Amino acid sequence: MPKCNSYPRLFVLFIFTAIFCQPLIYSQSYKTEVLVVGGGTGGTAAGIQSARSGAKSIIVEETSWLGGMITSAGVSATDGNHTLPSGIWQEFRNELYKYYGGAEEVHTGWVSYTLFEPHVADSIFKAIAAKESNLKIIYNYRFLNVLKQGNKVTGAEFINNENNKIKINAKIVIDATELGDVLKDAGATYDVGMESKAYTGEACALDSAYGIIQDITYAAILKDFGKGADKTIPRPAAYDSTLFTCSCKTDKCPNAGSNPQQMLDYGRLPNNKYMINWPEHGNDYYVNAIEMDYAQRAKAYAAAKEKTLCFVYYIQNSLGYKNLGLADDEFPTIDKLPFIPYNREGRRVKGLVRFTVNDLLNPYSQQKKVYRTSVSVGDYPIDQHIVESFKVPDRKFPGVPSFGIPLGCLIPANTSGLIVAEKGISASNIVNGATRLQPCVLLTGQAAGVLASLCASENIEPKDIDIRELQKKLLDCNAYIMPFIDMKPDDPDFKAIQRIGATGILEGAGVPCGWENQTWFYPEREISQYELVQGLKKFYTTYDNYDEATGETLTISSLLKILSLSGNKVALSQVKQDWDKFGFSKSFDENLNLNRRMTAVIIDYYLQPFNNPVDIYGNVKFNKASE
């Protein structure tokens, strides 16, 4: 029998290997100062601000859009911070106002004061980013793994759908992924799901931990194609109308909270569009995709898409809105749905500071004064979406005031070279329900960008940063570090009062208030000698035994007497000479009753207590009174 020629078989094997078993090829390698993994809400802000602060920066984004949950996920109705017009959040909102013609033109739905088309938001972020010469953005590459030297993160690798791979080395890496994928791969410890009260110290937490996370939502943008149009989608295979019967008030569900049009108007957008992100028997969907790989997540998210398509079909057929179809001018996707789902919760890093509901409720009375390290503000209540089929014990969430996010929440406790932005900051599951919202995440991302640029320029780790230097740079960006609702960035005393507020010498008054929580500074309220001394005791040890302060209103002369104990004696003649530069409306008089604004400005000017360093827990490292 003749021997078989093996060469054809080898040739076939070679061709198969060449086609189907290609090795991962580095198409590019980069070196930068700051690498931002993820161009979502926090990542976009981080990259822009890092570049603005002078650091060579790269954002690598999995999709072709910037903005994450407010663009790529289609959740284009912002929650919170309407009355805290701060930093990049305010910059973004002003651009929306310009595009649509004013604030009233984006107050189209009742869920928010600021609603917009996702593609418009993407274009705004890209226009802002394009102005930054230090910023490079790489689209359509997803995170693969981190690069490390020992315990220090030194960069990351990415891959695209063509199996091309890029490598980026950086001085500092920011995890701005939706689920905290970078921090996990870096070896940082983290939490997932609901913790127990023994673990967090929160009275409103559960007695036992549950691994349940918040629902995701695959949003949709519907467009009104006009009376008589029929844009009905094909009936989804998994369609079950009973899932949505009580999404709004109908004959079958008369006790639902909203009628069909009210349900749609919840997320009404400009240009006759509707954001479908409805929690009440709508398109919320439970899946915990956090520890899934890329392929598993894609499959899980497809099921979430299917539920949303079922809800759209229900709106069109059962509710009679056949004229509403999937918008054909929003997402450049085959199915006209967003690129990604809205993930409300992912991994939450164990940081140098853990933000709990106790810090929200009583920021000034906690043993650790982490409010002094605040770098981002929010005013949203604790809001969690939990699928009804889970029999999780009921939790009664307390009303909380507006809040500041401590810097230590962005810094992993056990990993170097890494900063966390997005929803993966170090917060309890309960607090995540308030810190996860878009404006707050934008501001947290901006703070991460400032932090990263400082670390890169000074060649230091995030844990070693000068917190006051970082906060000063944020104030220079017109960003709040203290959530005082009655002191806007255009007020001439804004920075002085923010600085004094961050020392705790003059405290704000927090007020839980529905969906727009508040903290008031009350700048025009008169202040007593006793109130001032109580504040100074928290910052200067020489006031510990001072008991001469009375309840009488503070005057210029009594203020200077009190301040002399700080070690910084200010002459009355000096104040008189400087009076005009303060810009106060009242004329100088040593017996003039002072309000909190005047007191803050004078203390800030002469004592400059904000310049005394604080550690990551808000402890004062040094002050003149303790020399």
Q: How far apart are CA 347 and CA 369, in angstroms?
A: 25
Beta carbons within 8 Å of 303's beta carbon, 6+ residues apart: 285, 287
Query: Is residue 245 domain-shared with residue 106, that is, in the same domain?
Result: no
Q: How far apart are CA 50 and CA 34, in angstroms?
A: 7
pLDDT at 60: 98
pLDDT at 541: 87
9 within some domain: no
275 within some domain: yes
Q: How far apart are CA 87 and CA 308, in angstroms?
A: 34
Q: How far apart are CA 421 and CA 46, in angstroms?
A: 8
Lowest mean pLDDT among 45-59, 178-192, 515-529, 557-571: 557-571
The answer, yes or no, to whether residue 98 has pLDDT greater than 50, is: yes
Q: Which of 611, 102, 86, 595 is nearest to 375 (CA)?
A: 86
- 25: enclosing H helix or E strand: strand 25-37
pLDDT at 545: 86
Please answer whether residues 592 and 526 qualify as being in contact, where contact means their C-beta atoms are separated by less than 8 angstroms: no
Q: pLDDT band at 26, cuts 50/70/90?
A: low
pLDDT at 94: 98
The answer, yes or no, to whether residue 595 has pLDDT greater than 80, is: yes
482 within some domain: no
* Segment 349-402, tens digit of pLDDT: 999 999 999 999 999 999 999 999 999 999 999 999 987 667 788 889 999 999
pLDDT at 548: 83
Please answer whether residues 378 and 437 qualify as being in contact, where contact means their C-beta atoms are separated by less than 8 angstroms: yes
Query: Is residue 307 domain-shared with residue 414, that is, in the same domain?
Result: no
- Helices 87-100 and 438-458: crossing angle in degrees, nearest 10, is 130
Four-residue CA torsion sign, 467, 470, 472, 474: negative
Say if strands 57-61 and 25-37 run parallel, antiparallel, or are unpaired. Answer: parallel
Query: Is residue 45 domain-shared with residue 91, that is, in the same domain?
Result: yes
> What value does the mean pLDDT take over residues 68-76?
98
Query: Is residue 240 domain-shared with residue 181, that is, in the same domain?
Result: no
Number of domains, the chain: 3
Q: Which of 527, 526, 510 is nearest to 518 (CA)?
A: 510
How far, in whole angstroms, is CA 582 from its chain's centroid?
A: 35
Count of Cβ atoms closer than 10 Å to residue 334 Cβ: 6
Token representation of residue 80 = 């919170």
> What value does the mean pLDDT take over residues 155-164?
97
Say if strands 348-349 and 342-343 run parallel, antiparallel, or are unpaired. Answer: unpaired
> What value does the mean pLDDT take over residues 605-621?
94
> What value does the mean pLDDT take over residues 593-604?
98
* Segment 223-249, tens digit of pLDDT: 999 999 999 999 999 999 999 999 999
489 within some domain: no
Choosing from 450, 476, 502, the residue where a domain stops is 476
pTM of the predicted model as reported, rounded to 2 decimal places: 0.94
The answer, yes or no, to whether residue 108 has pLDDT greater than 90, is: yes
Query: Is residue 456 domain-shared with residue 535, that is, in the same domain?
Result: no
Choosing from 443, 476, 509, the residue where a domain stops is 476
Query: Is residue 354 domain-shared with residue 450, that is, in the same domain?
Result: yes
Query: Is residue 338 domain-shared with residue 357, that is, in the same domain?
Result: no
63 within some domain: yes
> What value does the mean pLDDT take over residues 260-269?
97
Query: Is residue 47 domain-shared with residue 166, that is, in the same domain?
Result: yes
Lowest mean pLDDT among 47-51, 127-131, 545-549, 619-623: 619-623
Q: Tell the residue number behind the tokens 């906690």, with chain if given.
A: 366
Beta carbons within 8 Å of 273's beta carbon, 6+ residues apart: 117, 221, 222, 223, 224, 327, 330
Query: Is residue 264 domain-shared with residue 368, that is, in the same domain?
Result: no
pLDDT at 138: 98
pLDDT at 50: 98
485 within some domain: no
pLDDT at 450: 98
* Segment 471-530, tens digit of pLDDT: 999 999 999 999 999 999 999 999 999 999 999 999 999 999 999 999 999 999 999 999
Token representation of residue 623 = 């002050």
- Looking at the chain, the whole-number percentage of residues with pLDDT higher than 70 is 95
Domain of residue 443, CATH code: 3.50.50.60
Q: How far apart are CA 609 and CA 566, in angstroms?
A: 10
483 within some domain: no
How far CA 377 is from CA of 45, 81, 387, 485, in Å, comes to 14, 8, 28, 11
Q: How far apart are CA 344 and CA 120, in angstroms?
A: 22
Q: What is the DSSP letter of 543?
A: G
- Print the domain residue range for 599: 494-626
> What value does the mean pLDDT take over residues 80-109?
97
Query: Is residue 134 domain-shared with residue 162, that is, in the same domain?
Result: yes
The answer, yes or no, to whether residue 4 has pLDDT greater than 50, is: no
**Where on the phi/psi map is residue 583: left (φ > 0), alpha (ψ -120 to 50), or beta?**
left
> What value does the mean pLDDT take over residues 139-144?
98
What are the residue ranges of helices labelled H in 24-65? 41-52
Query: Is residue 444 domain-shared with residue 498, that is, in the same domain?
Result: no
Query: Is residue 184 domain-shared with residue 272, that is, in the same domain?
Result: no
Q: How far apart are CA 56 and CA 362, in angstroms?
A: 39
> What value does the mean pLDDT take over residues 55-79?
98
257 within some domain: yes
Choosing from 295, 324, 343, the residue where a domain stops is 343
Q: pLDDT band at 295, cuts 50/70/90?
A: very high
pLDDT at 18: 38
> What value does the mean pLDDT take over residues 10-28?
46
Q: How far apart are CA 503 and CA 118, in angstroms?
A: 39
How far CA 37 is from CA of 165, 168, 183, 494, 620, in Å, comes to 15, 10, 11, 33, 34
